[in-house]
Structure 1
Amino acid sequence: MEFSLHRLRGAFALKAILTVALVALGDLLFFQKGFHGGAFGFYGLTMLAALALARPAVMGHIRPAAVLCLAALYAVAMAYSASPLPWTLFWIAAGFATLMPRTADFDDGWRWFQRLMFHGLVSLLGPIPDIGRRAAARARRGSAAGGLQRLLHVVILPIAGSLLFLGLFAAANPIIEGWLASFSTPRMDGRLFFRIALWLVLVWLAWSLMRPHMARHLLGTFDGRGDVHIPGVSPASVTLSLLVFNLLFLMQNAMDAAWLWGLVPLPDGMTLAAYAHRGAYPLIATALLAALFVLVALRPRSTTAGIRSVRVLVALWIAQNLFLVFNAALRTIDYVEAYSLTVLRISALLWMGLVALGLVLVLWRMLADKSAAWLINTNLAAAGMLLTVVCFVDLGAVAAQWNLRHAREVDGDGAVLDLCYLDELGGSALLPLIELEQRELPDELRERVHNTRLMVHYRLIDDVNQGGWDWLSQHRLAEAKQQLGRKIGRRLPEGEYSCSGELLERYIPSVPASSAPIAAETAAPALTGGVDR
């Protein structure tokens, strides 16, 4: 029979072959070589290539092909700096790519959330459902007897008979008995168990791309337009609520403007840092509740939303919410200046930006008569673009650089330098620590910075040498070598130094107790003029 790759593409056999190949590659990378980190990115690119080969429909349409390229971008992000964020985005994009050829069009994020969840849950079973369906289909066509059943009918008798006679021969012949005893099954130790578990996970991941599962029934996205009866919600109650809400928000915003901008001194016992830290997150929750109120009570095409005075009050209230979010961000910035910048606080500021954009979109939806699907899609698109950028930005390095340049010990104006947090950031803090170490610092601080840098430096070297390579880690080590030359420094003894670079008390050398009396005896003659008694 003439072999044709074109006929094989998309066939069940090709998908099975590619799955086995991906499992073998994963076993080589993650088990035999012990790679992790950036290796996930290269493995992701290989999976996408297998998907394009096994399912030609993915590359045959512009939209799934574009999403496949987006998934490849996230795979590159994993190779650049391995973290859970690009890994999650990679699988979302890969799921979109493999499911899109079976959908007529991209409808909305809510329906796609259901499709991805159903696909992921059904894929947990791996190829078992597909094998069962193929066996049932062959049985219906009457071809099963010529397949596996026919093979079993042929081999079962010789296998059973041979095992029986071999057992009898072993009982009569000690040489055969010893020969059989030399065969042993592999011991199920922890390493073998991990390897089998890895194979199962790799089969599940690969097969989920090769054989997508579409949900037949989806919960529709509510349109969110027109009148709907909600007890207690009427044009009069909504108008009164908006009036009261605007007054309350005006009071809060005026207090924030007065205190955060330094127009009025804070009450006695209240610091700016305490005021800033206390209110940032509740204010964001307030803005989210305001958006929910507009979505529920002021639906496009509803009677209430059509009243001009109500629309003006809503626009004013949304504007006040935006000012509230701005003040929440200002509170966070003030708190950072009083203490320090962390990855969590950077993430909070980015989240506040998304909340502000969401408020604008909620208002525009009401004014422009947009559907709920439009609101969901635009918010998801904005969040997706932001997260894609974050995949290629080292927030830990941003936080470390800011903290070192604004530390009180450096410029005398910022927060106290938190070396323990820099140690927690790991490789992200390596280059900023080297920059700080090369500045003019007090001897005690210089030693602690040097020790912290050594601990971070050697942990990163060990991680890369043990399979945790990614491009960003390699770049950090190369840049560190260029700045330090061969003066990296000796590795510190494990467990003898704290995260802030200080020698732990139990390792500080002390003078033996027996030496004190000897010193006293030798010093006594000098004090008494050397008189012997």
Structure 2
Amino acid sequence: MQFKLGRWRLALWTKVGLAAALVALADLLLYDHTPGASLGLFTTALALGAALVHPALRRDRRGAWALAIAGGFALLMIEDPGLLAWLLFWTALAVAVLSARAGTHDDVWRWFQRLVFAGLAGVPAPFLDAKRVLGRGAAPGRLRRTISLIALPLIGGALFLSLFVAANPVLEAGFAAFRLPELSIARGLFWLLVTIAVWAAMRPRALRRPLPLAIRPGLTTSATSLVLSLVVFNGLFALQNGLDMAFLWSGAALPDGVSFAQYAHRGAYMLIFTALLAGAFVLAFLHPGTPSAERPLIRWLVIAWVAQNILLVASSVLRTLDYVEAYGLTGLRISALTWMALVAVGLVLICVRLLAGKSPSWLINANALALGLTLTLASIVDVGAISAAWNVRHAREVGGGGAELDLCYLAGLNDAALVPLVDLEQRPLPADMRRQVAWIRSENMTELADRQSQWRSWTWRGQRRLDTAASRLGQLPTPLPPPDQRSCDWRSKPQPLTAPPQDGT
């Protein structure tokens, strides 16, 4: 018993020391600084620390894979830190440190409970562990023995160190430059939050018995009612899809009083809600293995209905693309298109579950996998740069078939729009617009260069943007407008097109 207690204390103090080092590292890298690659360095150190104090990860394949994925997200934050990558990192790290205590074939529902419990229980965990250690350390004479053990090394070490500092100018200069961090309420709160987060990775709280997925019997109705419902639904969806095929997809003439823009831009999100409602109907009334779900007629009607729902989603995508063509591309519209694709995948999975007799856990796991892959891709892709490049390439001012360019939107994208702005500046533009583009580009470039000059806020993606912009600008950038005329709204009087300045002219 005494041996086990000693091992527990050694492991605990190892985690305490590592947690203290990570808190100090977070203070050095992150406190009161714009996060950049420093966030990736901290999360990489945290992942390595978790691997060090959890030796079970070496024997747990799932935990090792989760830790490797967490390391990938940490490296991604060196490329360009973001909230999504940060959340995915913590999710993967939590799965890694909890994996050894979880069942081999647990589903996403059980893991969801574990992650929520670990997050909530991790808040008071440092205080509870501190109370536990202090309670065990209150034995008579233990404090006296500890002091007598460390007194001589501390006093002797301090004495010799002071002599060496007095005799060595290098050590003297180093100690003279050393400053303890200034204490403040904000810094104390930062340390507290980091301590809670780090300690949750060092000593995670695991939910012992997560609740299984409780599937109640679905809503019941007669097979005849289901057949009639599916026939009616298929007919209504066929009407809507037929109108979309006639007017939206083929471009046929619309009735008087209805413009193509009105037809295309109206109801995209409502149609997605309709598809979700259809999926909920299938889940509620048709469970694999039930007599109704096994009837061939009902199966074919469900397949036809799901196919029509997917066509409905495709029409919603086309509506959104038409909206993009008319008003430009934004990050929210890219997110909407991605969401529509996920809805289509979910509908297909619902149909597969019904036809193949899969369990509810399979459906949840499959949808979670699709969502996880989508979020991972979203954390990697630079959505702002994609939307900025598309808007510049299709802008009406440069001869494209898109909408008029919204310079205020590009300015709001900050350095994500830097390279597209440089490309825009190189094209023939109205004189006023060219000067405003140059001003916005100059502001973004100056701000990015300032961040890149600080090692904590430096990012790999930012450096590539800065290098690309500098190489494309050339030697003679466009003169900036006067300070009182700088605005992202450049439209005033019509101006003749002016060519970009050429080197040597």
TM range (shorter): 0.7 to 0.9
1:412–1:218: structure 2 CA closer, same or farther, 3 Å change rule?
closer
- State the alpha-carbon separation in 2 of the partners of residues 344 and 220 from structure 1: 36
Q: Note the alpha carbon deviations across 1:292-311, whole angstroms, 9 max, x for none.
A: 11111101111210111111
- State the alpha-carbon separation in 1 of the partners of residues 9 and 51 from structure 2: 10
Structure 1 residue matching 2:204: 3-state secondary structure: coil
Larger mean Cα displacement after TM superposition, 422-431 or 104-113: 104-113
**1:413 CA drift (Å):** 2.3
Are 2:201 and 1:209 equivalent residues in the alignment?
A: yes
- State the alpha-carbon separation in 1 of the partners of residues 344 and 470 from structure 2: 43
Q: Which residue, out of 433, 436, 443, partners 1:445?
A: 433
Q: Which residue, out of 423, 428, 446, partners 1:435?
A: 423
Alignment of 1:86-165 (within 5 A): 86-135=85-134, 138=136, 144-148=139-143
AA matched with 1:14:
T
**1:148 CA drift (Å):** 4.9
Partner residue in 1 for 2:496: none
Q: Which residue, out of 185, 200, 206, partners 1:193?
A: 185
Q: Which residue, out of 417, 421, 434, partners 2:405?
A: 417
1:359–1:278: structure 2 CA closer, same or farther, 3 Å change rule?
same
1:494–1:291: structure 2 CA closer, same or farther, 3 Å change rule?
farther
1:486–1:46: structure 2 CA closer, same or farther, 3 Å change rule?
farther
Partner residue in 2 for 1:14: 14
- State the alpha-carbon separation in 1 of the partners of residues 141 and 404 from structure 2: 78
Q: Which residue, out of 438, 457, 470, partners 2:459?
A: 470
- State the alpha-carbon separation in 2 of the partners of residues 436 and 329 from structure 1: 28
- State the alpha-carbon separation in 2 of the partners of residues 149 and 359 from structure 1: 69
Partner residue in 2 for 1:221: 213
- State the alpha-carbon separation in 1 of the partners of residues 338 and 11 from structure 2: 45
In the alignment, structure 2 segments of 5+ residues that lack a partner are: 1-6, 148-181, 493-505
1:492–1:108: structure 2 CA closer, same or farther, 3 Å change rule?
farther
- State the alpha-carbon separation in 2 of the partners of residues 310 and 88 from structure 1: 42
Structure 1 residue matching 2:31: 3-state secondary structure: helix
**1:403 CA drift (Å):** 0.7
RMSD: 2.6
**1:289 CA drift (Å):** 1.0
AA matched with 2:62:
R
**1:216 CA drift (Å):** 2.6
TM-score w.r.t. the length of structure 1 is 0.79
- State the alpha-carbon separation in 1 of the partners of residues 483 and 460 from structure 2: 27
Partner residue in 2 for 1:279: 267
Partner residue in 2 for 1:23: 23
Q: Note the alpha carbon deviations across 1:204-238, whole angstroms, 9 max, x for none.
A: 111000001011332211357xxx3636x332222
Equivalent pairs counted in the alignment come to 452
In the alignment, structure 1 segments of 5+ residues that lack a partner are: 1-6, 153-188, 504-533
CA contact (8 A) 1:99 1:212 kept: yes
* Identity in percent: 45
**1:489 CA drift (Å):** 6.8
1:10–1:68: structure 2 CA closer, same or farther, 3 Å change rule?
farther
**1:133 CA drift (Å):** 3.5
Larger mean Cα displacement after TM superposition, 99-108 or 12-21: 99-108
CA contact (8 A) 1:272 1:334 kept: no
Q: Note the alpha carbon deviations across 1:259-293, whole angstroms, 9 max, x for none.
A: 11244323444333332222111111111111111
- State the alpha-carbon separation in 1 of the partners of residues 144 and 246 from structure 2: 84
1:474–1:310: structure 2 CA closer, same or farther, 3 Å change rule?
same
Q: Note the alpha carbon deviations across 1:295-338, whole angstroms, 9 max, x for none.
A: 11101111210111111100000000010011000111111111
**Whose Rg is larger?**
1
CA contact (8 A) 2:37 2:81 kept: yes
Alignment of 1:57-96 (within 5 A): 57-96=56-95
**1:463 CA drift (Å):** 3.4
CA contact (8 A) 1:284 1:352 kept: yes
- State the alpha-carbon separation in 1 of the partners of residues 373 and 279 from structure 2: 22
1:412–1:238: structure 2 CA closer, same or farther, 3 Å change rule?
same
AA matched with 1:355:
V
- State the alpha-carbon separation in 2 of the partners of residues 135 and 193 from structure 1: 25
- State the alpha-carbon separation in 2 of the partners of residues 455 and 343 from structure 1: 22
Partner residue in 1 for 2:346: 358
Larger mean Cα displacement after TM superposition, 55-64 or 424-433: 55-64
1:146–1:308: structure 2 CA closer, same or farther, 3 Å change rule?
farther
1:145–1:487: structure 2 CA closer, same or farther, 3 Å change rule?
farther
**1:497 CA drift (Å):** 2.4
1:238–1:92: structure 2 CA closer, same or farther, 3 Å change rule?
same
Q: Note the alpha carbon deviations across 1:469-504, whole angstroms, 9 max, x for none.
A: 21111110111112224556788888862233579x
**1:428 CA drift (Å):** 1.0
Q: Note the alpha carbon deviations across 1:63-87, whole angstroms, 9 max, x for none.
A: 1011100001111111111111101
CA contact (8 A) 1:135 1:144 kept: no
Q: Which residue, out of 315, 318, 325, partners 1:330?
A: 318
Larger mean Cα displacement after TM superposition, 215-224 or 68-77: 215-224
Partner residue in 1 for 2:168: none
Alignment of 1:31-70 (within 5 A): 31=31, 34-70=33-69
Larger mean Cα displacement after TM superposition, 276-285 or 488-497: 488-497
CA contact (8 A) 2:435 2:480 kept: no
Larger mean Cα displacement after TM superposition, 107-116 or 434-443: 434-443
